[in-house]
Structure 1
Amino acid sequence: MTMLSRAVRAASLSALLAGAVLAPGAALAQAKPPAAPQDRVPAGAPEPGKEIALTQVQIDGLLAAQPELAKLSGGAPDKPDPKAEEQAQGQAEAIVKRNGFASLEEFQDASDTVDAVLGGIDPETKSYVGPTPLLKKQLAAIQADKGMPAKEKAEAVKEIKEALAAGEPAKPSQGNIALVTKNYARLSAAMGGEDKK
């Protein structure tokens, strides 16, 4: 997976993670924090990155780069275009550098670290509880949802149970939890999940 596809994929996954509302029929938004070191990485998830010590400047840079990166395209997924991907890679590199990062890899490590923390923040309390309690809460909500189509419900339940079976990922550092929690409203709003509670 190229750094560009990893960055763009993380941008879209970040939107899902930050926008999760634990309600019946909700998308499997917080099913798997991508930055957590694990033996198994679900199909389609970005490759996990290393946790870094986040700074406010990096959070601000992520927020500024996110909308620009989401607009990039490396060509159609079914017909890869090396020229288009190379051009998009260069554009992505320029975007992250313009927003305070030395490289796409540094940007991705910061993004993965934020995602790992967001994957454990309860959107209702806006505090870090870890991904397992959130998955259990989401599983109960989906199982109780009478309006969800049976096939969709079975798929969602299966995915959540697989995520739970993978085990609790390593807990992010307290400093990263504090910084992401402090910026939760901004991160959530910028990534498409503005919480109005």
Structure 2
Amino acid sequence: MNRKIEDLTFPKGQTKLTEAQREKLFDLIVILSKNPAYQIAISGHADAGEADSCSAGRLRSVVNELTKRGNISATRIVEVDESKFKPVSTTNRDKNRRVSFSLTTTSKQDVVRQFNVAKANTLTLEEGYFQKGDNKFIDGITWKTGKQTLEKSGRFVVIDVTNVDMARTKTLGEARGQVINDYQQYLEKNWVESLRKQFPVQVNENELKKLK
């Protein structure tokens, strides 16, 4: 997933951050802090009428703000000094004096969240180890590796099968949930039986008849 962030523009020749720019970067710091899987590419730009050092100076100011004030790890940041080679306008040079941003992530859950911003449940994702009866969509496909597409109730379902196991006995780790559930039921059954032996139930027929 690639997510675009609004550019930060600078007056001619300026490389230091203003308070207004720091406030905008604080919003970016919050996004990065809340989404540890995000990586960010930061590009410094200069206009043709500026010194070559302006793009690098702007880039360094922004990176320092993120790493020092925001405590964002430098390993999550890709720095690119574009110098004067990527202007975005020939009529409004203010737009060329900028720092641009691009967020990327390999987290599937982050992708799901972005798809669902405008409308909930536009995209759902489920991963795991499934057996027959666990998932109605998986039950409806041919059990083989590869991607398969279904359409159910107006929605498209893409299933990517990475492995199909032969029939076998489950490992303890795979069966742990069922084992715990069965054991709890066993304990509860024995407990109820012991209570019945210890405190036998007697029905008073005369009192019961009064209720009818």
Structure number with greater Rg is 2
Do these two structures clear the TM 0.5 threshold for a shared fold by scoring above it?
no
- Give the TM-score, by structure 1 length: 0.23
- Give the TM-score, by structure 2 length: 0.22
Give the structure with the larger helix fraction. Answer: 1
Give the structure with the larger strand fraction. Answer: 2
